[in-house]
Amino acid sequence: MRAKQIIVERATPILYHYTNSTDAAKILKDGVFRLSSVTGNDTEEALGPMDKPFFFSTTRSKVGDYHRYVGGGGVMFVLDGNWFNSRYTTKPVDYWDRMWNHPGTGRTRESEDRVFSKQPTIPIDGIISVHAFLKEHNEWRSPATRQLLIAAKTRKIPAYFYTDEKAWRLQDTRHAVSPAQATELLKGEEQTRRQYKFNDYLEGWLELVYKNKQQDLSKIGEKLRYNVVYYNRGNPNEDNGLKNELFNARKPGNSDNNSAIKVIQYLKKNNLTPYQLANAMYAKWKKIGDEQREKNLATKPNQTT
């Protein structure tokens, strides 16, 4: 009798994560990878475990499709796949459904391995080495590259710097350049991006969840309350745009990503879908409005003709 074969999905022993120099410097300074979320996109949600709404995208190939074009610079993290396997749920993912196998698409194998987590961050303890590439001096990339090399050294993580793209892609450390040899390339003041305040509609959803008085709502919260009460009307297929807002804020770089994380964590804690949350807020704020109107009528002086 043939024994049953058990297939276990795991990441490969060596993984790679590509990013830009600014994000790489922040990762090394903060000590965490910030994850993307699947909530709000049916395709993304189907790829991972229901109880783990956050994911970290890695690849099994250092020359794969994700980083085929790098422009003036880029950073590759080499990761210990076994470290991730022992602590997180990992699995290979073909997001584009073998599109690379069809002629004319211009795509190659992505070889993606995803790491799924209940939390929106993962510590950087699984980093084996960092490989940074810079083609020419740039007011943003140059100081960011210098900062990431300093941060890696501070954390005692092996870091290599390249000015040759081919050597960087192959991680041929024989052609790595020391920072002292590239002072002109790495010079410049560290740049900080100007912070613009956007309408954070997900913050409005948090207001509806945690506040209980209409006068305590911000303009965004009040507009959302009105739409939920007067346009939702308990429709189980209406979420007042919540899924779309969560999808748009799914990546760490989005301005309302922090609010998205809080909404997602609330959804998971209370076992709710975006539709169910929208309907719960309809019921909550309709009841608050009805009670306030009854109170106003009860305290209104009797009118005589």
**155 and 233 assigned to the same domain:** no
**160 and 206 assigned to the same domain:** no
**164 and 263 assigned to the same domain:** no
Residue 96's pLDDT is: 55
**88 and 154 assigned to the same domain:** yes
**182 and 206 assigned to the same domain:** no
Q: What is the pTM of this model?
A: 0.85
**172 and 206 assigned to the same domain:** no
**209 and 162 assigned to the same domain:** no
**pLDDT category, 107, cuts 50, 70, 90?**
very low
CA distance readout (Å), 191 to 75, 130, 142, 194, 206: 18, 21, 10, 10, 32
Q: What is the DSSP letter of 273?
A: -
Given the DSSP bridges, would you call strands 89-93 and 14-19 parallel, antiparallel or unpaired? unpaired
Chain segment 210-261, per-residue pLDDT in tens: 999 999 999 999 999 999 999 877 788 899 999 999 999 999 988 899 999 9
Q: Is residue 16 a contact partner of residue 56, using CB atoms and an 8 Å limit?
A: no
- The answer to whether residue 89 is domain-embedded is yes
Of 186, 212, 235, the position where a domain reaches its end is 186
Chain segment 145-202, per-residue pLDDT in tens: 999 999 999 999 999 999 999 999 999 999 999 999 999 999 999 888 765 556 789 9
- The answer to whether residue 4 is domain-embedded is no
Beta bridge partners of 131: 76, 160
- The answer to whether residue 193 is domain-embedded is no
Predicted confidence (pLDDT) at residue 3 exceeds the cutoff of 80:
no
- The answer to whether residue 269 is domain-embedded is yes
Total domains in the fold of the chain:
2
Residue 208: which domain range? 201-299
Q: Which residues contact 43 (CB under 8 A, 6 or more apart)?
A: 95
Residue 215's pLDDT is: 95
